[in-house]
Amino acid sequence: MIIPLFLGLALSAPALAQHPLDPLTAAEIEAAVKIVRTAKSLPEGVFFPQVALKEPLKAEMKSWKPGAPLARRAGLVVFDRTANALSEAVVDLGAGKLVSWTTRPGAQPNVMLEEFDKFPAVVKADERWRAAMTKRGLDPDKLWVDLWAAGPMSTSEKTTGHRLLRGLAYVVEGNKNPYAHPVEGVVALLDTNARKVIDLVDTGIVPVSKAPGDFDDASNPPARPGLKPLVISQPEGPSYTMNGHEIRWQNWVFRFTLHPREGPVLYQVAYQDGDKLRSVLYRASLSEMLVPYGDPDPNWSFRNAFDEGEYGIGRMAGPIEPFRDAPANAAFIDADFADDLGKPYKVEKAVAIYERDGGLLWKHLDVFVANQNQSHRARELVLTFIATISNYDYQLSWVFRQDGTIAAECGLTGIMLAKGVKAQTAAELHQDPSGHHAHLVAPGVVAPHHQHFFNFRLDFDIDGADNRVVEHNVRSAPEGPGNPMSNSILMEETVLKSELKAQRDMNLASARKWKVVSASAKNALGDPTGYALIPGENSIPYLLESSSVRQKGRFIDHHLWVTRYSDDELYAAGSYPNQGEPGQGLPAWTKADRDLDGQDVVVWYTFGVTHIPRPEDWPVMPTHTTGFKIMPNGFFARNPALDVR
């Protein structure tokens, strides 16, 4: 049935799945865990770091018709801490049975929510850690411990073969923002298998900053004069409809889910062009994030977060607060996840959906014909969620536009990761060689230089799965008879025919962009139908190629990768980057150099933000918005928004 969405309303997912791509319901999560526990006789202490839909094979979905039977499966990651063993299970929910069980020797799952809750107490009980805090004049019982994935490990750390975490300390007493008061110089290495601290790095005492770092209203008087009301009103309700997890709006039709690892995922994105529903994307999602910090200090060099693979951004979703995190006309969708023990729980208002003003859609003022003004206002549909990963907050939005464009918008806000220093002024910091890797944001507090890399996996199906990827480069024509006024601009197209040839980088000098086109469908002008990937802000990585972090996250080596479709190739840095081996994911898959021309292709786009901190980013960072868009390029024969009234 069609579910009307009313302003500000929170909607739960349907109790029963209505479509093969719908996320698991709470009942299905509970059933899947019970089936695995029974089939493998698992003890109560075994963990389930991920329980999610095991998506049908793409070939199955391509041939599936609504109402036809299709096996409903769940995929589970199972971790036995006692045995330090990770396995993957697949359950057939309809048949009520375990259909596969695969062990992954040496693999470690993401940091679990249970570990954030329980293991800080293990750090605080360690006598060496307590002595280090007492030496600094701090009460160990009044500190807060934040846990990180192990990151790059020494040879001795690797040889333990155990699951490792690192603990950082902050002064929380009297502070609403403990991140502003780091206890510098002390890092605890925690063996979660043995439930003890196995090493403590102490590089010396640095005074804890006394500078205020709170950013709540009461801590920052006086308030500027308030604004007069800005009213967002849709008295007749929104213009979109949602049927289960399918959304229809302004010729767009797509499905969505909130995945515990990937966050919001789009499926089967299509455009209603007259009487024909034309495919654009089969699946689109954030594949991986990497945040490398540029401070070589021994107690900082491990701080390189694979935010998706090491933590799982979907499960880090928090409730979206109406009127603050989303506008007044937003509707909200809950999400069902499994906790670490496999028990279902609900995140209320995990996803928001709303329409917003999109600026000028198109316009022309014809001053020669009675000053006739043809002007149309645009509207956009936004699907958004927000994940809080310790100090940083990330908003990820998919934005649909009336001209056939889809934008991915990433908003970076929250609190920068801070380092305690002795310097109280910028001049003092500049005199310290170790201060060249950071900028002072408060007396005694610096924010190290760092980067944020995002990799999006875009499984294009432009009018079908037989696609090819074309690179556009622009150049000036040489002087000569063919260019007598030296003004000729040429655009050259190159087909990226294989996976190794499709490892490409941005080039400002040639206005480089990439286009995915159909190998068989043509528009009314005779050109292949296609969509162009339009880059936005981007950066190169400043990690040297010899860096162990870059070796593990080699998706940042190139802005563009293209692979031949495979159902199991989902994550740019591999399935298990936590304590994982280098070279997983894209570099491993593309070694085969598979043919891409006229094939079912997947585009992987990497973009980066190089963050050189400013004082204005402290103590909480104004939202920095970045991203990219995919825009019709020959998909239509003319402006598709001419029918907007």
In a domain, 42, yes or no: yes
pLDDT tops 70 at residue 7:
no
Mean pLDDT on 280-301: 96
Mean pLDDT on 165-183: 96
> Residue 25: which domain range?
10-103
pTM of the model as a whole: 0.96
What residue has token string 């293990």?
122
Mean pLDDT on 185-202: 96
pLDDT band at 1 (very low <50, low <70, confident <90, very high): very low
d(CA 555, CA 583): 9
d(CA 507, CA 535): 11
Mean pLDDT on 161-177: 95
pLDDT tops 90 at residue 454:
yes
Domains in the chain: how many in total? 1
- Burial annotation 36-60 (CB, 10 A radius, 16+ → b, else e): bbeeeebeeebbbbbbbbbbbebee
Q: Is omega for the bond preceding 222 within 30 degrees of 0, making it cis?
A: yes
What residue has token string 């990439």?
514
Please name which of 405, 412, 325, 320 lies closest in space to residue 359, comparing C-alpha atoms: 405
What integer pLDDT is reported at residue 436 of this predicted model? 87
The catalytic residue among 126, 146, 307, 459 is 307
pLDDT band at 645 (very low <50, low <70, confident <90, very high): confident
pLDDT band at 372 (very low <50, low <70, confident <90, very high): confident
In a domain, 477, yes or no: no
Mean pLDDT on 453-477: 98
In a domain, 72, yes or no: yes
Q: Return the DSSP state at 365.
A: E
What integer pLDDT is reported at residue 110 of this predicted model? 97
392 is catalytic: yes
Q: Which of 369-373, 451-455, 537-541 has the lowest mean pLDDT?
A: 369-373
pLDDT tops 60 at residue 3:
no
Bridge partners of residue 276, in order along the sequence: 273
Mean pLDDT on 447-464: 98
pLDDT, greater one: 604 or 13? 604
What integer pLDDT is reported at residue 17 of this predicted model? 61
C-beta separation of 553 from 604 below 8 A: no
In a domain, 281, yes or no: no
Q: Up-side HSE of residue 173: CA atoms within 13 Å toward CB?
A: 8
pLDDT tops 60 at residue 4:
no
How much is the mean pLDDT over the chain?
95
d(CA 222, CA 201): 42
pLDDT tops 60 at residue 395:
yes
C-beta separation of 429 from 277 below 8 A: no
Mean pLDDT on 89-104: 97
In a domain, 38, yes or no: yes
Q: At what angle do helices 127-135 and 113-125 cross, to 10 degrees?
A: 70
3-state SS of 473-499? EEEECCCECCECCCCCEEEEEEECCEC
Please name which of 209, 632, 261 lies closest in space to residue 425, comparing C-alpha atoms: 209
What residue has token string 């977060």?
305
What integer pLDDT is reported at residue 13 of this predicted model? 44
pLDDT, greater one: 12 or 87? 87
Q: Compute how many other C-beta atoms are within 10 angstroms of the C-beta atom of residue 403.
A: 17
pLDDT (tens digit, 9 = 90+) per residue, 63-78? 999 889 899 999 999 9
Mean pLDDT on 108-127: 97
d(CA 98, CA 328): 45
d(CA 3, CA 21): 18
C-beta separation of 571 from 287 below 8 A: yes
3-class secondary structure, 127: helix
What integer pLDDT is reported at residue 10 of this predicted model? 52
In a domain, 268, yes or no: no
In a domain, 204, yes or no: no
What integer pLDDT is reported at residue 367 of this predicted model? 85
pLDDT band at 443 (very low <50, low <70, confident <90, very high): very high
> How many angstroms separate the Cα of 636 from the Cα of each of 132, 278, 386, 493, 625?
66, 11, 34, 19, 29
pLDDT (tens digit, 9 = 90+) per residue, 214-265? 999 999 999 999 999 999 999 999 999 999 999 999 999 999 999 999 999 9
pLDDT (tens digit, 9 = 90+) per residue, 398-420? 999 999 999 999 999 999 999 99
Output the six-digit token pair for 171.
């002064």
C-beta separation of 146 from 157 below 8 A: no
Which helix (H) or strand (E) segment holds residue 280: the answer is: strand 276-292
pLDDT tops 90 at residue 458:
yes
Residues above pLDDT 90, as percent of the chain: 92
d(CA 458, CA 603): 5
C-beta separation of 556 from 606 below 8 A: yes
pLDDT band at 434 (very low <50, low <70, confident <90, very high): confident
Q: CA torsion, points 567, 573, 575, 578, in degrees to nearest 10?
A: 180
Domain with residue 65: its CATH number is 3.10.450.40
What integer pLDDT is reported at residue 369 of this predicted model? 76
Residues above pLDDT 70, as percent of the chain: 97
Bridge partners of residue 363, in order along the sequence: 375
What residue has token string 């780091």?
182
d(CA 302, CA 153): 8
565 is catalytic: no
What integer pLDDT is reported at residue 6 of this predicted model? 39
What integer pLDDT is reported at residue 16 of this predicted model? 55
Mean pLDDT on 467-483: 96
In a domain, 371, yes or no: no
Q: Compute how many other C-beta atoms are within 10 angstroms of the C-beta atom of residue 321.
A: 12
Burial of 14 (0-12, 13-18, 19+ CB in 10 A): middle
The catalytic residue among 179, 271, 392, 576 is 392
d(CA 395, CA 446): 25
Burial of 32 (0-12, 13-18, 19+ CB in 10 A): buried
d(CA 126, CA 121): 9
C-beta separation of 396 from 383 below 8 A: no
3-class secondary structure, 440: strand
